[in-house]
Amino acid sequence: MPNWDALVAAASAARELAHAPYSDYLVGAAFELSDGTIVAGCNVENRILGLTVCAERNAIANAIVSGRRDFVALAVVTVSTPPAAPCGMCRETLAEFVDDLPILLANTQGERTEVRFGDLLPHRFVLPKG
Ligand code: THU
């Protein structure tokens, strides 16, 4: 069972650090790794709007640059009701590293919904072996 309370706390703290002056929509994400380590990320927007990077992808990059890719759970915190799920680009990025994963969608009002990554991205693209 993931430490959801710790993950939501870490994602909420990361969310407060988001750089989102264009949308005013702050997102925090936090992964639990296999030894309980938590790695977080926030969204970082850019005046060239297409250069914006989501919280989930920044959390993945944070883990990768720490030499870690043993993801076991993810929490995402937004202000949305119902709590928002990762976007398609983040789902594809996650698919690079995980087969399945429990994901907690949470919001700042305390709502929580648990989903599975396999349900968010079924029938994933698999690169044929050359
Ligand atoms: N955003 C995320 O950080 N994660 C998602 O899964 C969806 C969207 C960010 C990107 C942008 O900074 C803001 O939310 C509005 O789209």
The 10s digit of each residue's pLDDT in 38-81 is 999 999 999 999 999 999 999 999 999 999 999 999 999 999 99
Q: Read off φ and ψ for residue 71, nearest 5 degrees.
A: -70, 130
Cα separation, 126 vs 82, whole angstroms = 31
Q: Which atom of ligand 1 is nearest to the CA of 52?
A: 12
Q: How confident is the model at residue 1 (pLDDT cuts 50, 70, 90)?
A: very high
Asked if residues 38 and 6 have their Cβ atoms less than 8 Å apart, the reply is yes
| Most ligand 1 atoms within 8 A of CB, residue of 52, 76, 77, 79 to mutate | 52
The alpha carbon of 54 and the centre of ligand 1 are apart by a number of angstroms equal to 5
- End-to-end alpha carbon distance in the chain: 39
- Interval 83-126: pLDDT, tens: 999 999 999 999 999 999 999 999 999 999 999 999 999 999 99
Asked if residues 13 and 40 have their Cβ atoms less than 8 Å apart, the reply is yes
Q: Which atom of ligand 1 is nearest to the CA of 42?
A: 3
Asked if residues 12 and 108 have their Cβ atoms less than 8 Å apart, the reply is yes
| Most ligand 1 atoms within 8 A of CB, residue of 17, 22, 44, 54 to mutate | 54
CA distances from 75 to 29, 47, 48, 51, 69 (A): 6, 27, 27, 23, 16
Query: Which of helix, strand or coil describes residue 69?
Result: coil
Q: How confident is the model at residue 16 (pLDDT cuts 50, 70, 90)?
A: very high
Cα separation, 118 vs 66, whole angstroms = 25
Determine if the pTM surpasses 0.75: yes
Scored b (16 or more CB within 10 A) or e, 53-66 reads bbbbbbbbebbeee
Q: Whose CA is nearest to atom 4 of ligand 1?
A: 54
